[in-house]
Structure 1
Amino acid sequence: MKFRWTSVAWSIAYLLLLLSLSTPLLIITTLFMIVPAVVLFTSLSTKQFILHVVPVLLIIALITPVYLLIALYFLIPALVMGRWYRKRASAMSTLLAGTITILGEFMLMLLLGTALFHFDLTGYVNDVLEMVTSPMSQLGTTNPLLNDLSFTSEDVRMISHMTIQMIPMTLIVSSFMIAVITHSIVRPILNSMDLAVPKLKPAREWRLPRSFIWYYLIGIVIQLIFSGSKSNYMLMIAANLLPLLRIGFMIQAIGFFFFLAHERKWNKVMPILLAVPVILLPPLRIIGIIDLVFPLRELVTKSKR
């Protein structure tokens, strides 16, 4: 086995990550749970991968059987991303494959929880918010100076409703972030093993399809038309579509700054410094919208000539 000791080390790392689920570190380690399995699956043959992973899963099953289900849950997107790496697929297609798989698992888990265990997500969110806001409301009742901290049942209901509406966007962003973190760690590791993995396009080539402008306009129209109605479904579409598109426009603006710096031969630090205000000041995403609507990059190239 070419990477015998390295593979053993990654198996141990995989076991330690799974064991961390019983500690407060799980909030952080969960983000990296896919990494060891992806490295093992990509660098080893299928038979070798099974020989490395099965002992880890058996140990976890003996310690805490519930964690075996969690391990299998994270193993599925790891196998998908590993397969894409084996095929030398583009970085973006690998990220999309991982994101879609993780998102699909999230949705399947919610579906099964609702269908089999009668899990009420709305009721759960409302109960959690009431548990969190109840102490604040009591403080506001006993101390007039803290009256602004008190929450009425209507306030809790409204926050709960807004939280439920934002769940789709939260799941999408979370799935994508896990895939991005995995790729950013796995790619240099596999390259060090002489396994060439395609990298993402440089930031200066980041461009969204122009059709995103129409999606944004549709989202705004939906929000305007149904803002005073009782159509929760349409409002949920707008509440999730618009923030996702705004993030996309922010990325477009950052890509434009890197393109401008590349064309003008600026110092590599300049686009990073220009990108910071875009992240901190969301209205600056309009630069990305302008870059998407008008041929700014072509104008920069022509002016250079």
Structure 2
Amino acid sequence: MQNNQTRKLAHGAMMVALFTVLMAIVFYMPVVKIIAAIIAPLPIIWYSANYERKYSFLVAGIAVIVTFFIGGLLLIPASLIFAAAGLTIGDAIYHKKSKVFMFISTSISLLITFAIQYVIAVRLFEFDFIRNSLDLMKTGYLESIKMTEKLTGQATPKEALDNLNNMLNTLEMTIPAAVTLAMLTSALVLISVNLPILKRLKVDVPKFSKFSELRLPRSVLWYYLIVLSINIFIRPDPDSSLAIIMLNISMILWVLLTIQGISFIHYALDAFGYPKFIKVLSTFIAIPLYSFVILVGIIDLGFNARDYIQEKSQK
């Protein structure tokens, strides 16, 4: 028993030290900060995957506190996000959860951590970094327009200014969807990079199925139909809260259905034995043709299209 406790303490101290080093690299070494940021949760993941939840929370908490002494308050937001991601991924491994559960729980963990930090920044420090970023972007666009007017000697058409304002307003309204998609992407990157490393460290990690076998829940299709019906039949006022909510949900659903459509295209190409470079090419082509790919995703979820493809490929 004593040896087990000593091992927990020793491993905990090692993981805290390693996490602190990685966060120091993120903070002080811009050249390799992206690589360090991606693997920063790894020490917390490893510890959480091997020890009980209460010890994992303790180690993660100590790790965040220690990073305060090397980077001050500026480093705390990043260390909290990476520690939360590490705890969630490691806990899912410890309890033998699936990779889908791991992805969803990690995404939610990142979203909650980000939201709490944003509220604290706005309420306590009166620092709205999202608003400041939008204002900076708007200022940059206006300055570029003024510079263009000086160089050409011609005033910018009113239609172009209206389009710019509409774009910036749409961008502002879709911030919740953008943040959600960013957290989903971050969770996917952290899981995809750190799990192979953990596997090399002899940690039993779950496996993702092939991308071509991806099937989103059919409820996604129903959500899309509900949102589409509201936009067509109710037609909420563009400035209303309902319109903003529908716009953000629509963005997330568009991305999900686009991914589903690309997955179906990969499945069809695999079924007919096309080489891998065709799949890569089809993915790049799918991005500008996302409207068509969304339709493919809807067909894939709503009908047994994969069974039809499988039958055709076997003839």
- Relative to the length of structure 2, the TM-score reads 0.77
Equivalent in 292, 305, 309 of residue 296 of structure 1: 305
Partner Cα separation in structure 2 for residue 206 and residue 93 of structure 1: 14
Q: Which amino acid aligns with 2:299?
A: I
For residues 137-161 of structure 1, the C-alpha deviation after alignment (integer angstroms, 9 at most, x for no partner) is 4313423357449999877754443
User: Does residue 58 of structure 2 align to residue 38 of structure 1?
Assistant: no
Residues 11 and 202 of structure 1: is their aligned pair in 2 closer, same or farther, counting only changes over 3 Å?
A: farther
Counterpart of 1:171?
A: 179
Alignment match of 2:23 (pick from 14, 17, 24): 17
Pairing 1:103–2:111 present: yes
Q: Does the 8 A contact of 1:249 with 1:289 survive in 2?
A: yes
State how far apart, in whole Å, the 2-side matches of 1:269 and 1:27 are.
28
Q: Given that residues 44 and 86 in structure 2 are in contact (C-alpha distance below 8 angstroms), is that contact kept between their aligned partners in structure 1? A: yes
Task: Tell me the distance in 1 between the aligned counterparts of 2:113 and 2:56.
Answer: 22
Question: Which one of 251, 256, 260 corresponds to residue 268 of structure 2?
Answer: 260
When the two chains are superposed, the root-mean-square deviation of aligned CA atoms in Å is 3.8
**1:21 aligned partner, one-letter code:** F
Shift of 1:117: 4.0
Q: Tell me, yes or no, if the aligned pair for 1:8 and 1:52 is still in contact at 8 Å.
A: no
1:154-303 superposed matches below 5 A: 158-224=166-232, 229-285=237-293, 286-303=295-312
Query: 2: distance between equivalents of 1:27 and 1:192?
Result: 22
| 1:49 to 1:216, Cα distance in 2 relative to 1, 3 A | closer
- Give ranges in structure 1 of 5+ residues lacking alignment: none
The answer to whether the 8 A contact 2:24-2:70 is kept is: no
Listed one character per residue, the Cα deviations across residues 93-150 of structure 1 (whole Å, up to 9, x for unaligned) are 0011110010111222233334434555785355323432342243134233574499
The percentage of counterpart residues that share the same residue type is 21
Distance 1:194 1:122, change over 3 A: closer
CA distance in 1, matches of 2:44, 2:158: 47
In the alignment, which of 66, 82, 86 is matched to residue 74 of structure 1?
Answer: 82
What aligned pairs does 1:44-59 form with structure 2 within 5 A after superposition?
A: none
Q: Does the Cα contact within 8 Å between 1:137 and 1:151 map onto a contact in 2? A: no
Alignment CA distance shift 1:13-1:120 (3 Å): closer
TM-score, normalising length from structure 1? 0.80
Equivalence for 1:62 = 69
Change (3 A) 1:182 1:139: same
Give the SS at the match of 1:274. Answer: helix
Asked if 1 retains the 8 angstrom alpha-carbon contact of 2:214 and 2:260, the reply is: yes
Tell me which moved more, 270-279 or 188-197. Answer: 270-279
In the alignment, the residues of structure 2 paired with residue 125 and residue 87 of structure 1 have an alpha-carbon distance, to the nearest angstrom, of 40
Distance 1:111 1:20 in 2: 24
Structure 2: any 5+ residue segments left out of the alignment?
A: 1-6
Q: Structure 1: how far apart are the matches of 2:154 and 2:16? A: 52
Give the Cα–Cα distance (whole angstroms) in 1 for the partners of residues 296 and 306 of structure 2.
12
Give the number of aligned pairs.
Answer: 303
Question: 2:256 is matched by which residue type in structure 1?
Answer: G
**Quick one: distance in 1 between partners of 2:175 and 2:107?**
16
CA contact (8 A) 1:253 1:287 kept: yes
Is residue 143 from structure 1 mapped to residue 151 from structure 2 by the alignment? yes
Aligned in 2, Cα 1:268/1:11: closer, same or farther, shift over 3 Å?
A: farther
Equivalents in 2 of 1:46, 1:126: separation in Å? Answer: 39
Q: 1:240: Cα distance to partner?
A: 1.5
Which amino acid in structure 2 is aligned with residue 41 of structure 1?
A: S
